[in-house]
Each structure stands twice: as C-alpha cells, then as structure tokens.
Amino acid sequence: MPVTEEGKANRAAAGAANLATWKAKNPAGGGLTHGATSRHFRRRYSDLRTAEGKGLQAALDALVEDLGGDLRAGQLLVLPRVREKLITLALIGSWIDKQSDLLTKTGDLLPVLKSSYLGYSESLRRDVEWLYSMASRRPSRTVDLESYIAGKKAAKQNGSGE
C-alpha cells in the first residue's frame, strides 16, 4: 500500500509531538542514548563486580600484558576503541544467542548482522593487529647533535675521514 502525503504529514506531526513531549521531560536534552552507549550497559561493563565487567577487564588486561605492559601513546589511544568494540560485539553476540533463525530464506545472514557484526569484528581485528604491529616497532634512537659532531671529529683524527 503506497504512503500518501496525508499519511506522511500525520506521521511527521506524531513524531514532532513525541519529540516535544520528550523535550519537556528532559529539558537538558541529554541522556538519549541506546545500545552500548546507554547508561545501563556502560555500568554493566564498567562495574568489575559484574560478570561482563570482569570478563572485559580480564581480556583487556591480557591484551596489555601480551603487548609488553608498557604501552606507547598511540596504543593508549586505540585501547579504549578496542574496549568499545568488544562491548558492542558482546551485545550483538548476546542478541544472536536469543535469535532462533539467523539466516534469511535465501541463506544469507540477517541484514543487521551483515552491516554491524561483521563490520565491528573486522574493525576489532584491524585494531588488535595494529596494536601488535606497534608493539614490535620501537622508534630508533637518534644521535644528538653533540654526539654526532664528536663522532665525526674522532673519525677525522683517526684518519678514516667518514
């Protein structure tokens, strides 16, 4: 059944009324979050008394230990993103566990899994791969100017003339 212009206008008016009601109850406008960003899930995964919080912290601690314990600035910037992706993947995984049928009639994954779960898991893989590659690369020590000049003088005195 095609949607008429009147139907669109009615839905727009109903949406505007719902938004006005919400804004009246929430004058600061904050707190409208969902999924992994909701207050409930943030608390559940941040609280080390919960099974989720303990599991997440154990995984992150093991990752940091595996990386050598002493993380560089770039790794410290990426680690919170890894944490967020682990939370999101855990939430999607728990949703998957509740589903009776994950495939469409044509045998494809549900569209929501194609776009989010696979994307998050690939992004997490790339982040972890990057963390390990950064752990194996340490910046080379550069010689300060005075040491360089002293080395050149010593080489000239020895006659090598480098």
In a domain, 141, yes or no: yes
In a domain, 27, yes or no: no
Q: Is pLDDT above 90 for 119?
A: no
Instruction: Average the pLDDT over 137-147 and give the result.
Output: 71
pTM of the model: 0.57
Q: What are phi and psi of 28, to 5 degrees?
A: -75, -20
Instruction: Average the pLDDT over 20-40 and give the result.
Output: 65
In a domain, 143, yes or no: yes
Alpha helices in 26-102 (DSSP H): 39-46, 51-66, 73-98
Q: How confident is the model at residue 59 (pLDDT cuts 50, 70, 90)?
A: very high
In a domain, 30, yes or no: no
Mean pLDDT of the chain: 80
Instruction: Average the pLDDT over 52-59 and give the result.
Output: 90
3-state secondary structure of 129: helix
In a domain, 6, yes or no: no
Among the ranges given (29-33, 70-74, 114-118, 154-158), the one the predictor scored with the smallest mean pLDDT: 29-33
Q: What percent of the chain has pLDDT over 70?
A: 82
Q: How many CB atoms lie within 10 A of CB 144?
A: 9
Total count of domains within the chain: 1
In a domain, 86, yes or no: yes
Q: How confident is the model at residue 58 (pLDDT cuts 50, 70, 90)?
A: very high
In a domain, 144, yes or no: yes
In a domain, 131, yes or no: yes
pLDDT at 71: 83
Domain of 62 in residue numbering reads as 35-158
pLDDT at 34: 56
CA–CA gap between residue 117 and residue 114 (Å, rounded): 6
